C-alpha cells in the first residue's frame, strides 16, 4: 500500500476505551508498517487539563498492552507524532485552540474522529464549523451508535449535514474493514465460478453468525439501553448481509458499491405485525454458565444492569430479500454474547443434487456448503462429497480449504487500521452512507417496537451454549439447522 498523504488525526474522547484499545494501536501498526506520511500528526483531545507527558503515561498503561509492538524504538518514534490538548467536545470556547493547532493548511487531510457519546455529535460538529474546521479537507468519522432509533439517527444526520457535506462524513462500521469481508467481494466479483450459483435457483439458505464468547465486559450501563439488535444486527450483520446479497456494482467507486447495498436494504421484507416479528425472530438473554471453562454470571447480575432487565443479549432473525435474485431464500442472522465460542462466519448452503445416485453418507447434509469464516481465523471452506478411497462407492464429506494465513504471508491490517487509512486517503467505499443507515433503522424498527410491547420476556439461555433452543427451532421448522448443529 502507498504512504498516506500528510494528515492531522484529531481523536475526540481520547482517554476512552476505543482510542486506547483500538485507534492508537491501529495507528501504531500503520506507522510501524511505514504507511503513515512523515507529516502525519495525531492530536488526542480530552476534558482533563493534563500535560502531554501525563497523557502518554495513560497511553503506556492503557494502550500499549493492545499493541503488537514491533520494537521499543518504533513505538517511541510513533509517540513523537502524538500531542494532547484539553478540549471538551461540548464547550465551544475550547475549539479555537484546536483550530490553531491544526493551522490554516487546506491541502493536508484533517480527520476528526468522534469517539464520543452520540448526544455530543451535533454540538461537536457545530463547534468545529464555528472555527472553520468544516472546510473541504476536513473529514469527520462518526462512531456507532448513531442514534438509538430511526428518529434520533435522522436528527443526528440532519444536524451534522448542516455543517458537513455527505462526502466529508465517514460512518464507521468496523466489520466492513475486516479483510475477509472485502475478500467476499473479491470472491464474488473476481471469479466467474460463483456468480451463476449465487442466486435463488442454487442457494437454499444463507446463515450469518457473529458469536461472542465475551459478555458485556463492564459496559452494562451502555449495553442495557442498547441490546444486541441495535448493537450488532442494525449495523454489522446487515452490512454483511448486503455484501453477500448485493448485485455486482457498476464499478468499485464508493457510490456504486453503496448504491447496490442500499438496494438490498430496501428489498428486505419488512415485518408487518407483532405476530410476524414473534414468529421470525428470537431474543435471548444469558444466564450464568461457563464459557471457555470459566464460570460466568448472568446478564442481570452484571454491574449497572437492573435485576429485571429485559434487554436482549442474543438475537436470531429469519430475514428475506424480496427481489429476483433472492426471493424465497431465507437469510438467518444470529448474534449473541457469552456464546460457546467467538466466531463470525457466513454460510451459504447450496441446494441438494436433484437426484441422489449414491446412498446418503453420514454428514451429507453438510455438503454443498460454502463457509466464509471472518474470525477467529480467516478462511473459505467448500464442503462437498467425495468418494472414499476403496473398492466400494461410498461418499464422504470432504473440504477444499483456503486459509488466508497460509495462502498469503504478508501482514494483514486489522479492521480499524484499514479504515483509518481509508479516511486519511479519502476513500469512502467501506463507510455507510446516510441513506443506508436510514434503511437499516427502518427495517429494525418494527422489531424494536414489537419487543418493547411484548409481554413475552427474552428467552434465557445458559452462558457457553449457542443461545436459546428457540433459535434452533426457528430454522428447524424450515428443515434447516445452524451450521455447527448439522
Q: Which residues bind ligand BG6 (CB under 6 A)?
A: 174, 212, 231, 344
Distance CA 86, CA 96 (A): 11
Q: Which residue is nearest to ligand BG6 (CB)?
A: 231
* Grid coordinates given for 469: 433452543
- Ranges of H-type helices in 11-130: 17-18, 24-32, 52-62, 72-79, 95-102, 121-130
- Closer residue to ligand BG6 (CB): 222 or 358: 222
Peptide bond into 376 cis (omega under 30): yes
User: What radius of gyration, in Å, describes the C-alpha atoms of the chain?
Assistant: 24
**What minimum distance in Å lies between the beta carbon of 344 and ligand BG6?**
6
**What minimum distance in Å lies between the beta carbon of 452 and ligand BG6?**
21
- Closer residue to ligand BG6 (CB): 184 or 344: 344
- Closer residue to ligand BG6 (CB): 321 or 344: 344
Q: Vertex 61, ends 55 and 64: CA angle to 5°?
A: 100
The catalytic site residues sit at: 236
Pairing of strands 369-375, 203-211: unpaired
Distance CA 466, CA 450 (A): 24
- Closer residue to ligand BG6 (CB): 114 or 344: 344
Pairing of strands 281-291, 294-296: antiparallel
**What minimum distance in Å lies between the beta carbon of 451 and ligand BG6?**
18
**What minimum distance in Å lies between the beta carbon of 362 and ligand BG6?**
33
Distance from chain centroid for Cα 34: 26
If DSSP codes are grouped into helix, strand and coil, which group holds residue 269? coil
Distance CA 294, CA 296 (A): 6
**What minimum distance in Å lies between the beta carbon of 124 and ligand BG6?**
20
- Closer residue to ligand BG6 (CB): 41 or 334: 334
**What minimum distance in Å lies between the beta carbon of 111 and ligand BG6?**
20
CB neighbour list of residue 58: distance below 8 Å, 6 or more residues apart: 15, 20
Peptide bond into 145 cis (omega under 30): yes
Amino acid at each position: 500500500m502507498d504512504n498516506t498523504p500528510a494528515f492531522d488525526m484529531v481523536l475526540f474522547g481520547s482517554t476512552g476505551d476505543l482510542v486506547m484499545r483500538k485507534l492508537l494501536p491501529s495507528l501504531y501498526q500503520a506507522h510501524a508498517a511505514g504507511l503513515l506520511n512523515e507529516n502525519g500528526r495525531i492530536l488526542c483531545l480530552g476534558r482533563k487539563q493534563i500535560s502531554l507527558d501525563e497523557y502518554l503515561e495513560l497511553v503506556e498503561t492503557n494502550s500499549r498492552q493492545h499493541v503488537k509492538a514491533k520494537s521499543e524504538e518504533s513505538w517511541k518514534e510513533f509517540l513523537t507524532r502524538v500531542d494532547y490538548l484539553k478540549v471538551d467536545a461540548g464547550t465551544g470556547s475550547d475549539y479555537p485552540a484546536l483550530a490553531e493547532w491544526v493551522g490554516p493548511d487546506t491541502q493536508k487531510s484533517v480527520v476528526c474522529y468522534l469517539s464520543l457519546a452520540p448526544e455530543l455529535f451535533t454540538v461537536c460538529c457545530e463547534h468545529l464549523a464555528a472555527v472553520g474546521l468544516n472546510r473541504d479537507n476536513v473529514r469527520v468519522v462518526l462512531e456507532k451508535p448513531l442514534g438509538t432509533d430511526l428518529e434520533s439517527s435522522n436528527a443526528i444526520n440532519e444536524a451534522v449535514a448542516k455543517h458537513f457535506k455527505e462526502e466529508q462524513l465517514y460512518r464507521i462500521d468496523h466489520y466492513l474493514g475486516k479483510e475477509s469481508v472485502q475478500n467476499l467481494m473479491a470472491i464474488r466479483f473476481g471469479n466467474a465460478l460463483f456468480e451463476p450459483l449465487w442466486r435463488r435457483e442454487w442457494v437454499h439458505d444463507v446463515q450469518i453468525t457473529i458469536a461472542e464468547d465475551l459478555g458485556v465486559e463492564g459496559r452494562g450501563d451502555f449495553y442495557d439501553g442498547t441490546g444486541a439488535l441495535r448493537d450488532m444486527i442494525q449495523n454489522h450483520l446487515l452490512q454483511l448481509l448486503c455484501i453477500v446479497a448485493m448485485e455486482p456494482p457498476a464499478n468499485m467507486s464508493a457510490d456504486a458499491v453503496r448504491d447496490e447495498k442500499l438496494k438490498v436494504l430496501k428489498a428486505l421484507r419488512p415485518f408487518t405485525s407483532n405476530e410476524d416479528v414473534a414468529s421470525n425472530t428470537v431474543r435471548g438473554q444469558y444466564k450464568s454458565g461457563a464459557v471457555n471453562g470459566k464460570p460466568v454470571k448472568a446478564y442481570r447480575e452484571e454491574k449497572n444492569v437492573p435485576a429485571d432487565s429485559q434487554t436482549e443479549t442474543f438475537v436470531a432473525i429469519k430475514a428475506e430479500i424480496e427481489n429476483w435474485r433472492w426471493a424465497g431464500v431465507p437469510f438467518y442472522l444470529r448474534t449473541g454474547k457469552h456464546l460457546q465460542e467467538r466466531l463470525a462466519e457466513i454460510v451459504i448452503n447450496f441446494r441438494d443434487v436433484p437426484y441422489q445416485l449414491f446412498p446418503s453418507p453420514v454428514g451429507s447434509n453438510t455438503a454443498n456448503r460454502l463457509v466464509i469464516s471472518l474470525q477467529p481465523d480467516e478462511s473459505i471452506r467448500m464442503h462437498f462429497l467425495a468418494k472414499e478411497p476403496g473398492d466400494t462407492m461410498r461418499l464422504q464429506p470432504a473440504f477444499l480449504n483456503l486459509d488466508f494465513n497460509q495462502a498469503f504471508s504478508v501482514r494483514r491490517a486489522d479492521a480499524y487500521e484499514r479504515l483509518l487509512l481509508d479516511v486519511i486517503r479519502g476513500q469512502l467505499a467501506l463507510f455507510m452512507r446516510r441513506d443506508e443507515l436510514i434503511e437499516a433503522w427502518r427495517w429494525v424498527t418494527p422489531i424494536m417496537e414489537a419487543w418493547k410491547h411484548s409481554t413475552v420476556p427474552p428467552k434465557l439461555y445458559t452462558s457457553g451454549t449457542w443461545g436459546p433452543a428457540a433459535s434452533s427451532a426457528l430454522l428447524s421448522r424450515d428443515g434447516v439447522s445452524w451450521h455447527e448443529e448439522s
